[in-house]
Structure 1
Amino acid sequence: MMSLLPPSLVAVIPRCLQSVRQPVPAGLIALRLGELPIGRIHPMRQALLREVWPELLPQDGALVWDATSLNVEARSDRIGAVALALRERGAITGWRGERYAFEHPVDDPCTARGEVLFRLERAAFRCLGLMSRAVHVNGFLPGARLVCGRRAMSKATDPGRLDNLAAGGLTADEDLVACARRELLEEAGVPAAISAAIESRGALRSTRMEPEGLHDEVLHVYSLRLPAGFAPSNGDGEVSEFLTLDLESLAQRLAAGEFSHDAAAVSAFGLQHPQALADLRA
C-alpha cells in the first residue's frame, strides 16, 4: 500500500506516528488505587492534591488512594469531588460536564478493555495522568481525497488546527461505534444512512505531556467512504471549516504541522491499514 502513496506522504507518516509515541517523562509520581497503578502526576501538583484529597497517602514514591473497598459509584463520587476542588483552585480548566470511564489497566488497551473502576469529568484526566479513549474518523471522497475539519478557535485543546472528519472522546458507558456515528452527525452533518458504513481500522495509543498534565489516550480509528458530492456541515460549533485534501496536499499540511498530534497520527495510521487502498478508491 505504501508504494501507492506519493513519496512526500510516505516520508511524513513515520513522523506523524512518532508524535504520539512520546515517552513518559521521568520524575512523574505514580498514582495508585491500592496496589494498582492508574495515573501519573507532576510533582508540582503533589501538595495541592494532598490538600484536597487528604486520604491520598505517599507510599514507596507513589501516591496511594486506598479505595479498593468502595464500589464504582462511591469511587466516582469521591474522585469527582476532588476534581471539583481542583477546578475551584484553577488546577483543572476546560470543564465539560462530561464523564469518561476509567478502566482497570490491561496489557494492551488497544485490543482489550478493562472493567470500569470509576467515572470522572473528562477535564480531570490529564491532571491525574489517567488513560482515556477517543474515536477518530477518516473521511474519504472519491478520487483519493480526505475530508478534514479545522478545529474552532473556541476549542479548549488545539484550537485552529486541522482534525479528522470527526473525532471525540468516548463518554462513560458509550459504545465506540455509537460514539463515532454521533460525532459524525454533530461535527460533520453525516446522516445515519451514510455513517452506518463506518469501518474499524484498529487503534493506537497516544502519550505526551501537555500543560494540563499527561495526555494518555487510546485512539480508536474508523474509516468512512463518503458519496461523491457530499458536503460536510458542522452542527455543534466545534469546527470552523472543512477542507478536502488530495494526498499531496495532505502530505504538505502534515509536514507543516497544521494537524493536531492525534489527528495527524490517525491520518497516517489509517493510510497504513491493509484496507487503505479500498478507502482511497472510495
Structure 2
Amino acid sequence: MSLMDRIDNCHRHDLSRYVPFKVDARQVGFMRRDMASELRRFPSVFRVAADQVSVAEHLDSFDYRSAAIDSVMRELRQEGFIRGWRDELFTIAAHFGAEPLFDLERAGVPLFGVKAYGVHLNGYVRRDGEIWLWVGRRAANRPIEPGKLDHLVAGGLPSGVKPFDNLIKEAAEEASIPKELARRARPCGALSYRMELDNCLRDDTLFVYDLELPADFVPRNHDGEIADFRLLPLSEVERLLAETEDFKFNVGLVIIDFLIRHGYLTPDDPQYSALALGVSRRP
C-alpha cells in the first residue's frame, strides 16, 4: 500500500461488466448486467436491451419516474436483491446542477452506477505550529467499510438538500459541532472517482471542506455512525494511509488532497507530481 495506491484504488473499474443506463436517451449510469436481467420483469418501467437499459418512455416526468422506479426497488428489496436499505433518497441527474430526472433509494444507487454526491470535512487543530487531524472510526454496524477510519464529518447528499446545509447537519449529528462553528468551514473544491466496490460501480463526487477547530474541541457522536474519535498528527495520518488499510476507501483521496493543499507534501517529494495530478483525476 502507498499513497498512490490509495488514489489508484479509487479509479479501478471495468466497464465491460456493465451496460449503459439511460433516461430520455441521456446516459446517466452504468448498470450491472445481473441488475439489468432482473429489470426485464418490469417492462412497464424499464426497457432492457442487450446493450443498454433505459426508463420507459411514457414515464416522462420526475414524479412519474421516481414513483415507478421506487416501486421496483421496494419489490427487489423484499426479494433480497437489494440490501442495506437506507430509507434515504438521492436525486439522479446527468451531472450536478443538471435537470433532476428521478429520486432513487440510496441503496440502489451503486446498482445503477449513477452519479452520487457527498460532503467530507477535514476537521483539524494546530499544535505548536503543526496540524493535527481529527479522525473517526466507523461503527461496526455500518453497511460500508465497518470499523474503518473516516473523516470527522462525512455523509451522502440526500435529495433536496444543499451541500453546505448537509455539512451543517452532519457536523451536528456526527461530531456535535455547533452550527456557529460549523459555518466557518471553508469549501475547498470537489474530488471525483469511479470504482468498483462490492460488485457495484460507484461514481461519486465529494465536496470537500476544511474547518480549523479550537484546540479544546472534543467531538462526540450522536447518530451512532462513529464509534470513537482520535486526534492524530499528519505524520501518523500519512503512515496509516501509506502502510495500512485502516482508512475507508475514499477518505484517503480527500486526505491526500488536504496534505498537498496545506503544504505537508511538497514538490520535493518524488511522488508529489503523480499525487497532485492523481487526486484531481476525472473518471
How far apart, in 2, do the equivalents of 1:68 and 1:245 lie? 55
Equivalent residues of 2:21, 2:27 under 8 A apart: yes
Deviation at 1:211, TM superposition (A): 2.1
In the other structure, the counterpart of 2:155 is 168
TM, length-normalised to structure 1: 0.86
Q: Structure 1 residue 226 and structure 2 residue 210: aligned?
A: no
Local SS of the residue matching 1:44: helix
Deviates more, 1:258-267 or 1:11-20: 11-20
**Alignment equivalent of 2:170, drawn from 160, 171, 183:** 183
TM, length-normalised to structure 2: 0.86
In the other structure, the counterpart of 2:47 is 57
- Report Cα offsets for 1:228-275 as digits up to 9, x if no partner: 1110000111000101110111012112011011111111122223xx
Among all aligned residue pairs of Structure 1 and Structure 2, give the percentage whose two residues are the same amino acid: 28
Equivalent residues of 2:59, 2:65 under 8 A apart: no
Matches within 5 A, 1:68-87: 70-87=60-77
In the other structure, the counterpart of 1:89 is 79
AA aligned to 1:79 is I
In the other structure, the counterpart of 1:251 is 238
Q: Structure 1 residue 266 and structure 2 residue 254: aligned?
A: yes
How far apart, in 1, do the equivalents of 2:50 and 2:81 lie? 25
How far apart, in 2, do the equivalents of 1:55 and 1:71 lie? 13
Gap runs ≥5 in structure 1: 1-10
Gap runs ≥5 in structure 2: 265-283
In the other structure, the counterpart of 2:29 is 39
Equivalent residues of 2:122, 2:151 under 8 A apart: yes
Superposition RMSD on alpha carbons, in Å? 1.9
How far apart, in 1, do the equivalents of 2:37 and 2:68 lie? 18
AA aligned to 2:110 is R
In the other structure, the counterpart of 1:22 is 12
In the other structure, the counterpart of 1:66 is 56
Deviation at 1:12, TM superposition (A): 4.2
How far apart, in 1, do the equivalents of 2:26 and 2:206 lie? 23
Equivalent residues of 1:31, 1:63 under 8 A apart: yes
In the other structure, the counterpart of 1:48 is 38
**Alignment equivalent of 2:92, drawn from 77, 80, 102:** 102
How far apart, in 1, do the equivalents of 2:259 and 2:204 lie? 20
How far apart, in 2, do the equivalents of 1:227 and 1:215 lie? 35
Alpha carbons of 1:76 and 1:140: their partners in 2 closer, same or farther (altered >3 Å)? same
Alpha carbons of 1:74 and 1:34: their partners in 2 closer, same or farther (altered >3 Å)? same
Local SS of the residue matching 2:101: strand
How far apart, in 2, do the equivalents of 1:47 and 1:240 lie? 39
Equivalent residues of 1:34, 1:68 under 8 A apart: no
Q: Structure 1 residue 204 and structure 2 residue 191: aligned?
A: yes
Deviation at 1:209, TM superposition (A): 1.2
How far apart, in 1, do the equivalents of 2:98 and 2:237 lie? 36
Equivalent residues of 2:120, 2:153 under 8 A apart: yes
In the other structure, the counterpart of 2:109 is 125
Alpha carbons of 1:71 and 1:45: their partners in 2 closer, same or farther (altered >3 Å)? closer
Q: Structure 1 residue 139 and structure 2 residue 139: aligned?
A: no
Local SS of the residue matching 1:51: coil
- Report Cα offsets for 1:191-243 as digits up to 9, x if no partner: 11210100111111121112252111111111110001110000111000101
How far apart, in 2, do the equivalents of 1:27 and 1:263 lie? 26
How far apart, in 2, do the equivalents of 1:240 and 1:179 lie? 21
AA aligned to 1:224 is L
AA aligned to 2:70 is G
- Report Cα offsets for 1:86-139 as digits up to 9, x if no partner: 111211111111101111x24xx5xxx212111111111011111110101011
How far apart, in 2, do the equivalents of 1:196 and 1:157 lie? 28
